[in-house]
Amino acid sequence: MEELITQLLSLVKGVWKYRWYSAVIAWVFVLAGGIKVYTLPDDYQASARVFVDTQSILKPLLSGMTTIPNVEQQVSIMSRTLLSRPNLEKVLRMVDLDIKAKTVKDHEQLINNLASQIAITGTGRDDLYTLSYSNENPKLAKEVVQSLLTIFVEGSFGDKKQDTANAVQFIDTQIKSYEEKLVTAENALKDFKLKNTSTII
Domain boundaries, the chain: 2-39, 44-158, 161-201
Identify the bridge partners of residue 130 per DSSP, sorted by sequence position.
Answer: 49, 121
Could you count the other beta carbons within 10 Å of the beta carbon of residue 127?
15
Which residues, 6+ apart, have CB-to-CB distance to 12 below 8 Å? none
The whole-angstrom distance between residue 96's C-alpha and the CA centroid of its chain comes to 24
**Tell me, what's the pLDDT at 184?**
92
What is the mean pLDDT, run by run of 10 residues, along the chain of 201 residues?
82 78 86 86 83 56 51 66 84 85 86 86 71 87 89 64 64 84 90 75 50
**Tell me, what's the pLDDT at 68?**
52
Are 129 and 56 in contact, with CB atoms under 8 Å apart? no
pLDDT (tens digit per residue) in 111-151:
888 888 888 887 656 667 788 888 888 898 899 989 888 88
